[in-house]
Amino acid sequence: MAERIYIRDGDNLEPMEEQPFALEDDLQELLAKHPHLLDGERVSPGNPRRWLLVKREVGVPAAAGESARFSLDHLLVDQDARPTLVEVKRGSDTRIRREVVGQMLDYAANASLFWDAGTLRRSFKETWKDGANKALYNLLQPEDEEVDEEAFWGEVATNLAAKNLRLLFVADAIPIELARIVEFLNAQMRDNIEVLAVEVKQFKSKSETRSALVPNVIGHTAAPPGGKSAAGSRIRSKISIEAFMALLPSDEVREATQRLFGIARERGAKIEPGDRGFSIRVKLPEETYHYLVTVAWLYPPGGSFWMGLRNYAFGESVTDDSNLPPRRREKLNAWVSQFERDSFGEQHQSDAVRARVITHQDVATHADTLAKRLGQALDDLQAP
């Protein structure tokens, strides 16, 4: 049975009957114009998501150098530069029960491999044209008047490489079969990929001159061990330097860390906080290269973090290696290779990072060597 809501106007109540969208494109267009319909407060309670449309009908290739094989309905980014892939269907479309899940996983798997920040940035510019800067400013809401556009798209690329994505299935009715799959995927993939469904119900007056839209977020699972909900586990604040220093095991490690931070600041590198640690990143001087290159990751004791890194790691994470100028590639190789001859630390290799992982105590012991190398690498990477 169709649902009904009432609009109150003084003493009058106007009934609004639930009506499905006549066309899938109607719902797609609404979301493109009003992405806040996705209810960012319920997606991330206490830390509401704000979204910005990058592009509708985004092409997704299936191999490097190929033209697009798939077409994603919407690509959004939130204020933390996390890509959000949106696939829209009507509830009456039988594909929404299972087929749409395979579609979305296809898109996510290939997008994380073959999209890059430059491509997404161009798509964003094509969508917003002269309003691009204002749109990004409204998303980020910086305390001052400046928006670091290059840093933002570099962070988008970093999230893509790390497969730090959000997948949203949107329809005017979410069938129970899809809701179960979404809950299962969200519970299993919560460390990197958030999977949710958003049901956007449409209600219209009898005359169809007025309408109302009611979103509902589906997919947050029961609390895992430790008492945090799936949604709550993703509400992460950025760690402060003071809090980070307090987690380090000794004054010697803290002193070595302050020295590394000081060298980064002197050379204009970015010291970017995460929820538990920091990364040191540098912008290359080439105007055609729009990414930030990460050269170090600093984490507190205990566990593993992004891409399995732990302790302090010195190396490289380049978001689009094919576009890296050859001269900078040589400098990065020199930076990474010199650690391979060391008797301390161990090599770490993954899809997105090549680095030397060094214990906190070894960082303190070899502080002079590490500081000298970091300073030289930052100078080399930023040299005209």
Cα–Cα distance, 200 to 212 (Å, whole number): 10
The 10s digit of each residue's pLDDT in 44-54 is 887 889 999 99
Cα–Cα distance, 194 to 186 (Å, whole number): 6
The 10s digit of each residue's pLDDT in 76-107 is 999 989 999 999 999 988 888 888 999 999 99
Cα–Cα distance, 264 to 273 (Å, whole number): 14
Cα–Cα distance, 260 to 242 (Å, whole number): 15
Whether residue 183 contacts residue 196, with contact meaning beta carbons closer than 8 Å, is answered with no
Amino acid at the residue 288: T
Nearest residue to 37 via CA among 21, 58, 59, 61: 21
Whether residue 136 contacts residue 52, with contact meaning beta carbons closer than 8 Å, is answered with yes
Relative to beta strand 354-358, strand 70-78 is: unpaired
Task: Say what the pLDDT of residue 224 is.
Answer: 42
The whole-angstrom distance between residue 146's C-alpha and the CA centroid of its chain comes to: 21
- Is residue 166 classed as helix, strand or coil in its secondary structure? strand
Whether residue 96 contacts residue 178, with contact meaning beta carbons closer than 8 Å, is answered with yes
181: its two tokens: 């799959």
Task: Say what the pLDDT of residue 231 is.
Answer: 41
Cα–Cα distance, 79 to 136 (Å, whole number): 9
Backbone angles phi, psi at 69, to 5 degrees: -100, -30
Task: Say what the pLDDT of residue 238 is.
Answer: 77
- Maximum alpha-carbon separation in the chain: 81
Cα–Cα distance, 102 to 104 (Å, whole number): 5
pLDDT < 70 stretches in the chain? 1-2, 143-145, 190-191, 221-237, 288, 290-291, 318-322, 351-352
> How many C-beta neighbours within 10 Å does residue 144 have?
5
Instruction: Count CA within 13 A, CB hemisphere, residue 85.
Output: 29
Task: Say what the pLDDT of residue 148 is.
Answer: 79
Please state the domain extents for the chain. Answer: 4-234, 241-382
